[in-house]
Amino acid sequence: MTNLRSVRVLQATAGMLVLAAFWQVLSMTLPPFLFPPVPEIISRTVEILITGSLLIDVLLTAARIFAGLLGAFILGAIVALLIARSRNLENFITPVLNFFQGIPALSWVVFAIIWFHGTEFRVLFIMVMTTLPAFTFQILDAFRSMSKDLFEMTMSFRPSRWTLFKFLIVPTIVPGILTAWKVNLGNAARVVVVAELVGATGGVGYQLLRQQQLFDMAGAMAWTLQLVLFVLVVQQTINVIENWALRYRAVSERAM
């Protein structure tokens, strides 16, 4: 398993190095305002991380992502529970969620600007509305993946509600929930930039808009990398939590 992980890391590193080398070649043949050199991009990226006033914008965007995902997760869990308990509610709510899922993020941005005044509430509303359907369906699918035979066998021991929740429901739904967080994290990162581009006075999206106005490609790449690094760090953190929470699984299964 360790060797497999090492191979994966080497392959991922090789892929990123090839991408960086290709970009560097383009920077040597095209104008630097279109393709700035890789060292300049790295320098600008590090500058953001070590400059307090700039790092605040990164942390602000991270806070908005977490707040939006947490709100959507809580609402999605409640809605999924209601749907699981009632077929009538499922027939009523599912079409609404499908309708919401088809609305582009930019449309939610326009709606939020028209409906609300506070910047933070606008961003929170956009984040929740764009990720709520996915969370609801993913949590519902995780709950319904529970084995009926295993459920009936467990109920034959007449467990308390807490015991049933702890030893059957949680192990069943945790993998799906963690996957939902990893999937929605990437979606939320893209949505929050759109929301900040048109409706915020701080954050990574706001800084990207400034770089566009200055026609500063190196700055735009540096701010984009902040968001990419944030997503990668959080996804790896979720992977660590997943490996710990699902440590009862066979090693070969977790290595897939």
Write out the two tokens for 70. 């947490």
Cβ neighbours of 121 (radius 10 Å): 12
Q: Tens digits of per-residue pLDDT, 101-123?
A: 899 888 998 898 889 888 888 88
DSSP state of 157: T
Q: Tens digits of per-residue pLDDT, 162-208?
A: 777 777 777 777 888 888 888 888 888 888 888 887 767 788 888 99
Task: Give the angle subtended at the CA of 232 by the CAs of 50 and 141, to the nearest 5°.
Answer: 145
How much is the average pLDDT of 121-136?
A: 90
- b/e map 83-109, b = 16+ CB within 10 Å: beeeeeeeeebbeebeeeeeeebeebb
212 and 29 in contact (C-beta within 8 Å)? no
SS3 55: helix
Q: Which CATH number fits domain 41-254: 1.10.3720.10, 3.40.50.720, 1.10.10.60, 3.30.70.260?
A: 1.10.3720.10
Q: What is the mean pLDDT of the chain?
A: 84
Q: Which of 12-21, 122-131, 135-144 has the highest average model confidence (pLDDT)?
A: 122-131
The domain locations on the chain are: 1-30, 41-254
Q: At what angle do helices 52-85 and 87-101 cross, to 10 degrees?
A: 150
